[in-house]
Structure 1
Amino acid sequence: MDQGLKVLDFLSVSNKINPIETKGEAGVSLELFEVLENRLEQILTQYQTLKTDNASLLKSLQEKEQALKEAQENLDKIGRERELVKQRIDQLLHKLGSLGAET
């Protein structure tokens, strides 16, 4: 990101601004305050955007985790049903084998 560049831009702007002097005391230029205020507003806006994006991503993650959990439960259920079908087929084959042995 070019945040370093923005900091350098801010520093170069602040170095160019001469503070207002009043009776020997150095004041701070209103221009510098405007630069600070604008930058702070940008940071706060970006923070709010990131906070909103983060909340959205967390919600999406929770939905995906829930969907994954449900899919895993369905897969487990199918596995159990498959095992039951396999056992029943084995029992039927055993019965058929027994019938063939009797004749």
Structure 2
Amino acid sequence: MVESPADIYAIEQTGQYSGRYFVLMGHLSPLDGIGPDDIGLDRLEQRLEAESITEVILATNPTVEGEATANYIAELCAQYGVDASRIAPRRAGGR
């Protein structure tokens, strides 16, 4: 799960992932009035309910908003018995 189509490109460049993507329309930002439905989490919940999803890999940005979004999604996934894991943030210098 990524925040934008540009994030897909970055992940594809690594050649390390061959699964399906779910692209959010940004991240949660309550101070800016951006809630779950504004970024497509209603669509995610529909898919969690209708499909046999077993795992979600969260690749949101390592910002306060990205972390809040990842935590919200992890809690949502838990309600449907879906494992949610977070990729490690990339550090300067590529390590």
Asked if TM exceeds 0.5, the reply is: no
Higher strand share: 2
Which has a greater percent of helix?
A: 1
Structure showing greater Rg:
1
**Higher RCO (C-alpha 8 Å, min separation 6):** 2
